[in-house]
Amino acid sequence: MQDYTLEVHGCHSYDCTGAITEPIYLSATFRHPAFGQSTGYDYGRVANPTRAALEKTMAELERGGRAWALSSGMAAINLVMQLFSAGDHVLMSEDLYGGTVRLAGEIYSRYGIEFEYVDTTDLTLTAAKIRPSTRAIFIETPSNPMMLISDIRSLAALAHDHGALLVVDNTFLSPHFQKPLTLGADMVVHSGTKYLCGHNDVIAGFLVMAKGREDIAGQVELLVKSEGPNLSPMDAWLMLRSLKTLGLRVEKQGENALALARWLQQQPQVTEVFYPGLPEHPGHELHKSQATGFGGMVSFKVQTPELAKAVLGRLQLIAFAESLGGVESLLTYPIAQTHAEMPKELIRRTGLDDRLLRLSVGIEAVEDLQEDLRQALEG
Ligand SMILES: Cc1ncc(COP(=O)(O)O)c(C=O)c1O
């Protein structure tokens, strides 16, 4: 089935009423038909029919074997971290969402897991960092916020040659544009709060496991059952509703983003534009070989830090806010928001600075977005 169809219909099966939308099962517990029998649902933390419908849909969309719908993107990344043990070494892209770096550095490092940051756009450099204890390579592509592109196929092959896993945070593109599991990755994580939700009204996350990885799926299942990081049935239903328009939303966001990236390049106050859809982006060709769209995220640098802050204050239509992926356009100041707690050394290596703004392009008329940015840049 094609993505647009899967997004609308998901894994919906009609119940006896013929309901077109998935029912919301709020029941925390389920009656057993008799001793030793189950309907497949016993207790809400372990399984819930509304959440199960969403999980099956996400597994299909990512072409994975199994998916878990979770209470946030961080809950999904947290499950990945819990697959490692003391003495394990994990390689991470050096340009990553700040919350992932905080979780690794401030929580899991305490348990003896070693995290090392590397420029994963450079395969030779990444290969040189592999050790016998390397258990995984964790990447974002495009990365947050510098929009760097890493080669999913080659990194998967590299990880597998050393008995390690490749984990891809696919938040920036969604499975509509990129399916890392079909390129060799073992696991995909998402902040479902972003494009998958698309309306800035649900905090959610997903972990999707590649087909044939029942060994690790069993470990994740044990963690989910034991710890209860699942998504509530109400939020699962909202996510199912959001997924129905995923393709339409992200296509329009991508169209708007490309137009704005080209326009930003021509503005005298803008010194650099980072968007993989621009032919001059160093990862443009690689990105085209592994994704079907460029996404709705555009980062750019302005002449001075003062101008960056002034732009945030002058916006009329676009909101100065954290987060991304919704139908409303948002502008973020990564150095003070999403990446405020990043180690200084990493910030310096990636080129993220106080002149960088990150635009999450919505589905508004592009002319209105352009006009708002124009007046904010000109002052
Ligand atoms: C790329 C990326 N991954 C993960 C997360 C964490 O997701 P959540 O905020 O849903 O916990 C974010 C949040 O901004 C993100 O941008």
Report how far residue 277's alpha carbon sits from residue 299's, in angstroms, rounded to the nearest whole number: 12
Q: Are 267 and 328 in contact (CB under 8 A)?
A: no
Residue 149's pLDDT is 98
99 lines ligand 1 (CB under 6 A): yes
Q: What is the mean pLDDT of residues 330-347?
A: 91
Beginning with the edge strand found earlier in the chain, give each strand of the sheet holding 330-332 in spatial order: 270-274, 297-302, 356-360, 330-332, 319-320
Q: What is the mean pLDDT of the chain?
A: 97
Distance 38 CA to ligand 1 centre (A): 36
Residue 345's pLDDT is 87
The SS3 of residue 26 is coil
Distance 78 CA to ligand 1 centre (A): 12
The Cβ of residue 206 has, within 10 Å, a number of other Cβ atoms equal to 29
Q: Which atom of ligand 1 is found nearest the CA of 193?
A: 10
Residue of 148, 171, 178, 242 with the most ligand 1 atoms within 8 Å of its CB, for mutation: 171
CA distances (Å), 63 to each of 57, 179, 224, in order? 10, 7, 21
Place of tokens 């509509």: 176
pLDDT tens by residue, 262-285: 999 999 999 999 999 999 999 999
50 lines ligand 1 (CB under 6 A): no
Beginning with the edge strand found earlier in the chain, give each strand of the sheet holding 165-169 in spatial order: 66-70, 205-209, 187-191, 165-169, 134-140, 89-93, 114-118
- Tokens found for residue 319: 């909101």
The SS3 of residue 313 is helix
Q: Is 348 exposed, middle or buried (0-12, 13-18, 19+ CB in 10 A)?
A: exposed
Q: Which atom of ligand 1 is found nearest the CA of 322?
A: 14
Q: Which atom of ligand 1 is found nearest the CA of 203?
A: 10
Residue 279's pLDDT is 98
Report how far residue 321's alpha carbon sits from residue 332's, in angstroms, rounded to the nearest whole number: 6
97 lines ligand 1 (CB under 6 A): yes
Residues with active-site annotation = 45, 97, 169, 194
Please determine, for residue 230, whether its predicted confidence score (pLDDT) is greater than 90: yes
Residue of 100, 150, 173, 191 with the most ligand 1 atoms within 8 Å of its CB, for mutation: 191
Pick the residue whose CA is nearest to atom 13 on ligand 1: 191
The Cβ of residue 246 has, within 10 Å, a number of other Cβ atoms equal to 23
Among the ranges given (67-71, 113-117, 328-332, 336-340), the one the predictor scored with the smallest mean pLDDT: 336-340
| Band (351; pLDDT cuts 50, 70, 90) | very high
| Band (2; pLDDT cuts 50, 70, 90) | very high
74 lines ligand 1 (CB under 6 A): yes
pLDDT tens by residue, 35-90: 999 999 999 999 999 999 999 999 999 999 999 999 999 999 999 999 999 999 99
Please determine, for residue 359, whether its predicted confidence score (pLDDT) is greater than 90: yes
72 lines ligand 1 (CB under 6 A): yes
Domains observed in the chain:
3-243 (3.40.640.10), 248-378 (3.90.1150.10)
What is the model's pTM?
Answer: 0.97
Pick the residue whose CA is nearest to atom 8 on ligand 1: 73
Residue 12's pLDDT is 87
Place of tokens 């697959």: 83
Total residue count of the chain as it appears in this document? 379
208 lines ligand 1 (CB under 6 A): no
What percent of the chain shows pLDDT beyond 70? Answer: 100
Place of tokens 């947290």: 78
93 lines ligand 1 (CB under 6 A): no
Place of tokens 């990493």: 346
Q: Are 56 and 11 in contact (CB under 8 A)?
A: yes
Report how far residue 345's alpha carbon sits from residue 118's, in angstroms, rounded to the nearest whole number: 12
Please determine, for residue 195, whether its predicted confidence score (pLDDT) is greater than 90: yes
Contacts of 340 (CB under 8 A, 6+ apart): 98
Identify the CA nearest to 150 among candidates 131, 127, 133.
Answer: 127
pLDDT tens by residue, 104-151: 999 999 999 999 999 999 999 999 999 999 999 999 999 999 999 999
Q: Which atom of ligand 1 is found nearest the CA of 204?
A: 10
| Band (335; pLDDT cuts 50, 70, 90) | very high
Contacts of 46 (CB under 8 A, 6+ apart): 225
